Amino acid sequence: MKNAGLLAFLGALLTISGCIKPEAENMEADILTMTLPDSVLISPPSLTNTTVTAFVNFSKLNIKAVAPEFTITEGAGIQPASGTPQDFSKPVTYTVTSEDGHWKKDYRVSLLQNVAPDNFMFENWTVNPDGNYYIPYELVEAEHQNIWASGNSGFSLIAPEKRPEAYPTQRTTDAVQGQYAAYLETKSTGALGALVGMPIAPGNLFLGSFDGAKALTAPLEATIFGIPFNKKPLRLTGSYKYISGGPVTDKTGKPVTPARQDLCDIYAVMFRASPEKPFLNGANVLTDPSVVGIAQLASGAATPGTGYGTFNLPFTYKSEVNADDLAAFAYKIVVVFASSRNGAIFEGAVGSKLYIDDVKIVTQ
Amino acid sequence: MIPMKRLHLLILLLAFALDTAAQNGKKVSFTVRAGLSIGAATPVGIPASIRKIESYNPGFQPGIEAGLDYRFSPNFGLATAIRFEQKGMTTDARVKAYYTTFNEAGSDGHQSVTGYFTGRVKTEIKNSYLTLPLHLTYHPKSDFTFKAGGFVSLLLDNRFAGDARDGYIRNQTPTGEREDIDAASYDFSENVRRINAGVEIGADYRINSGLFVSANLNYALTPLMEPGFRSIDFGMHNIYLNLGIGYRFH
């Protein structure tokens, strides 16, 4: 009887559940890589979920007819087609359609032919459609350069609120010059953030890109630092205002011992990029052997009064900068602002606020 | 609520059976039975997002019941019981673009990540029910008794939880922001339906005048999860085989 029952049971299970179905067609629609002839690129392209950005050597190509090649999710299609010449004097929108045909994603592909600026006024802001948060961009000769990044895309996943004003990194009208300044605030990530050992999200803003995929698993590596730079920096100057959120808590949300007040961080790093290590990240930006010079705010304590103060930080060089290599874009620079100095390892104080405006990299 | 109506109907029938039993003492017998269940909460047709079942463990799912049989003709009767039972399993599956929600506790939409997960998903289900079965019984001239009918279960204790590992989730849509996931947990225990009802068939085999062995196969027609539960985009139904041993008091 038991055997008969078992057979009946297995029969029923098979009838009801059936077998594993054939694999469904892919629903994803990603650009995985973009390639251009090596001589054209001065730095590997940076890819996010909806953008591809690369600095190119404009003397070596006709920007009105560049034919980048893309690899995309298996089975997906891309329009305009990979390898067809496009006019990149403005960003080109590519549409990737998933294998199953149901999902489409637009990418804004930018080839930047101008060197990044050396002064930053934080006047131009756009809202990222993926997570509904602000990000500043730079305009150089009318070229729209998406060279700033923040951890906002990581916050967008676990944050309870998705208004631009709820994010750690945003803009403010409390500015030293112009209409806007950058505003960074250390935020709580709520119950879900606490669960994954990331109870706070510091406001951060840096030159580079953010690899959202690594935000939860390897957050220090998610901040990809550096943009090509062909001048030797001497000082980093600017205006800032810092209000400390108070005693620092650790990644479990408990106060650290001995107790200390939260500090902000402002620094710039010049490093010699290599094909093996084209960028630095949150784990090695101050310590990697490729670093040649650092300018860093010494204390990071709260600024007195209610107005802005200034910083003027000289670069300290560990090794010589080769002028020929500099001209050939062998070096990169990163400027980093953070509302909690140890925010990258989730130590900080909720409510720490850093205002940044009128930043200049003074070069030789 | 329809299940409540059904429950009332069953209680009425049970009362009727007991009343009749009092009048015709000889036709009524009492049973006790203990058994183990093996089965699954499974979708009707495994969805394409499940690529491979890496492991399945039925676990230890005991059940005990006290029953009442009433024979209204030489070959036919009615049987009912009060049964305490556990239905559960643990599975580990490889999934591709599996729609789900990772949450802290419960599925409060504000504190969760919802999207399409590709990777491995472990699911642990352990639900306890107080069940009222009602069977039409057939007694051929042999040691077998065959039963067919239905059951209504009331959820006493609930667990539907697990974790996702070694993969990534696309936020909200398959083209949303990609996030790698080492390990993320979910807990949908609060979304398990209070009432579970379905059909049941079974057979008993008499070993001697008192002892018998039995097998019951039951399939829940009501979904495992509450209406409106969207954190897994396919419905699941309990299907369990219960094997047991019992004793009949004449």
Give the tens place of pLDDT for each residue, A91-145: 999 999 999 999 999 999 999 888 889 999 999 999 987 778 999 999 988 888 9
Per-residue pLDDT, B105? 45
Which pLDDT does position A132 carry in this prediction? 86
- The residue among B142, B178, B242 with the most chain A CBs within 10 A of its CB, best to mutate, is B178
Query: Is residue A1 in a domain?
Result: no
Residue A49's domain comprises 25-113
Residues 184-203 of B with CB under 8 A from A: 184-185, 203
Q: Which residues of B touch A192 (CB under 8 A)?
A: 102-104, 111-113
Residue A360 tokens, joined: 């200049």
Residue B7 has pLDDT above 80, yes or no: no
Q: Specify if A135 maps to a domain.
A: yes
Q: Say which CATH number the domain at A122 has.
A: 2.60.120.890
- pLDDT of A31 over the 60 cut: yes
B46 chain-A contacts, CB cut-off 8 A: 17-21
In a domain, residue A11? The reply is: no
Nearest to B114 by CA among B74, B174, B53, B203: B174
Is A169 found in the same domain as A315?
yes
Residue A248 lies in a domain: yes
Where residue A46 sits, what CATH number does that domain have?
2.60.40.2340
How much is the average pLDDT of A72-77?
96
Residue A262 inside a domain? The answer is: yes
Q: Tens digit of pLDDT for each residue in A166-215?
A: 999 999 999 999 999 999 999 998 777 777 778 899 999 999 999 988 88
A157 contact residues in B (CB cutoff 8 A): 113, 171, 177, 179
Distance from CA of B104 to the nearest CA of A (A): 6
**pLDDT tens sequence across B82-112:** 999 999 999 999 999 998 887 654 444 446 7
User: What one-letter code names the amino acid at A200?
Assistant: I
pLDDT given at position B232: 84
Looking at the structure, tell me whether residues A176 and A218 fall in a common domain: yes
Q: List the beta bridge partners of residue A210.
A: A223
Does one domain contain both A197 and A49? no
Is A141 contained in some domain? yes
Structure tokens at A6: 């078992």
Q: Which domains does chain B have, with CATH numbers?
A: 2-249 (2.40.160.20)
Q: Are B34 and B212 in contact (CB under 8 A)?
A: no
For residues A127 and A209, membership in a common domain is answered with yes
**B168 and A CB contact within 8 Å:** yes
CA distance A158 to A230: 38
- Least confident range of A57-66, B9-18, B115-124, B152-161: B9-18
What confidence tier does A217 reach under pLDDT thresholds 50, 70, 90? confident
CB contact (8 A) between residue A19 and residue B171 = no
Chain A residues closer than 8 Å to B53 by CB: 20
ipTM of this predicted complex? 0.80
State the average pLDDT over residues A279-291.
96
SS3 A326: helix
Residue A8 lies in a domain: no
Over residues B126-153, mean pLDDT: 96
Domain boundary among A90, A113, A136: A113
Residues A67 and A100 in one domain: yes
Interface probe, candidates B108, B117, B147, B179, chain A, greatest A C-beta count within 10 A = B179
Candidates B51, B175, B217; nearest CB to A103? B175
pLDDT band at B11 (very low <50, low <70, confident <90, very high): low
A235 and A315 share one domain: yes
Q: Average pLDDT of chain A?
A: 90
The reply to whether A216 and A96 lie within a common domain is no
| Burial status of residue B152 (CB atoms within 10 A of its CB: 0-12, 13-18, 19 or more) | buried
CB atoms within 10 A of CB A339: 35
Determine the pLDDT at residue B5. 57
Q: Test B178 with A49 for CB contact under 8 angstroms.
A: yes
CB B244 within 8 A of CB B36: yes
Instruction: Establish if B147 touches chain A: CB-CB under 8 angstroms.
Output: no
Inter-chain contact B49–A196, Cβ cutoff 8 Å?
no
Residue numbers in A near B36 (CB within 8 A): none
Contact between B177 and A157 using a beta-carbon 8 Å cutoff = yes
- How many distinct structural domains can be found in chain A? 2
Cβ within 8 Å, pair A192-B181 = no
Rg of the Cα atoms in chain A: 24
For chain B, the average pLDDT equals 86
Per-residue pLDDT band for A37 (boundaries 50, 70, 90) equals confident
Domain boundary pick from A78, A113, A148: A113
pLDDT at A122: 97
pTM of the model: 0.80
Q: Are residues A158 and A102 in the same domain?
A: no
Tokens for A227? 């943009």
> What is the arithmetic mean of pLDDT over A313-322?
95
A321 confidence band (pLDDT: 50, 70, 90): very high
| Nearest-angstrom CA–CA distance, A319 and A333 | 15
**DSSP assigned state of A344:** G
Closest CA in chain B for residue A8: B217
User: Does residue A121 share a domain with residue A103?
Assistant: no
Q: Write out pLDDT tens, residues B201-242.
A: 999 999 998 999 999 999 999 999 998 887 887 889 999 999
The pLDDT, as a whole number, for residue B107 is 43
Instruction: Name the domain boundary from A113, A137, A152.
Output: A113
Facing residue for A131 by CB, picked from B110, B168, B177: B177
Q: How many A/B residue pairs have CB atoms within 8 Å?
A: 132
Same domain for A133 and A206 = yes
Same domain, A139 and A97: no
Q: Are residues A121 and A252 in the same domain?
A: yes
pLDDT at A24: 87
Please indicate whether, in this complex, the C-beta atoms of A18 and B46 are within 8 angstroms of each other.
yes
